[in-house]
Amino acid sequence: MKHSSSEDGVTLIETLIAVLVAVIGVFSVGGLIFQGVVTNKNQGTEVTRATIYAQDKMEKLLSLDYANCTQSASAQPASCNTTNINAADWTDGLLAGGAIGPSVQATCPTSGASLGYIDFLGSNGIQLPGATAATGCSAIAPSDISYVRMWQITDVASTGGPSLKQITVAVYSQSAVNSGSGKPVVVLTSLLSDPN
């Protein structure tokens, strides 16, 4: 009997090669799915932490004594400084100023819009010990910074009611997935009115 080549069976070697190709494909896709799940979980953790840290800063700013912390910076008591940095010009309390972008200020500034409107947190979320008038900002090592909080206070135009201040807090994470883009992980905004 004569067999045509179309009736030949699949050899064991061909079957093993097909199985090997399928296994490599499954593991490759599985690795991508695993990496996606881990990245998504880590990013969710960063957003949760950043939200807590932004809310904490917002609550501190909203609890400041409106009458004392809206005076000129030189007349404000030390309690108006929420930065934990005791260097000159860092007590701005509720004065209009600050900036939340366009990019993160990853080191302690010595001048500019962020001066007095920024603080730094370690990996555990605790505010890093600040500088003093003698040491300037050198007391904060960039390698210790895990989160940067920046805020901006804006005087809202009066409409006949009490004076209002808009407070915006942005939190940047040095380990977030988008940290290289310079965008904050979380931005919160609130209004504060003069209680008098």
Q: Is the pLDDT of residue 177 over 70?
A: no
AA identity, residue 17:
I
* pLDDT (0 to 100) of residue 51: 92
User: What are the residues whose beta carbons fall under 8 Å from the beta carbon of 149, sequence distance 6 or more?
Assistant: 53, 54, 57, 118, 119, 120, 121, 169, 170, 171, 172
Residue whose C-alpha is closest to residue 129's, from 88, 87, 89, 170: 87
How far, in Å, CA of 57 to CA of 70, rounded?
17
pLDDT in tens, 20-63: 999 998 888 888 887 777 666 667 778 888 899 999 999 999 99
Prediction pTM value: 0.74
* pLDDT (0 to 100) of residue 181: 60
| Rounded alpha-carbon distances, angstroms, from residue 155 to 16, 140, 194 | 73, 31, 11
pLDDT in tens, 71-108: 888 888 888 888 888 777 777 889 999 988 777 777 77
pLDDT band at 178 (very low <50, low <70, confident <90, very high): low
* pLDDT (0 to 100) of residue 168: 95
* pLDDT (0 to 100) of residue 166: 94
59 or 159, which is more confident? 59
Answer yes or no: are the C-beta atoms of 101 and 184 closer than 8 Å: yes
CA dihedral over 82, 86, 90, 92, signed as positive or negative:
positive
Angle, CA of 105, 107 and 112, to the nearest 5°:
60
Q: What percent of the chain has pLDDT over 70?
A: 84
Rounded to 5 degrees, φ, ψ at 117 are -125, 35
* pLDDT (0 to 100) of residue 101: 77
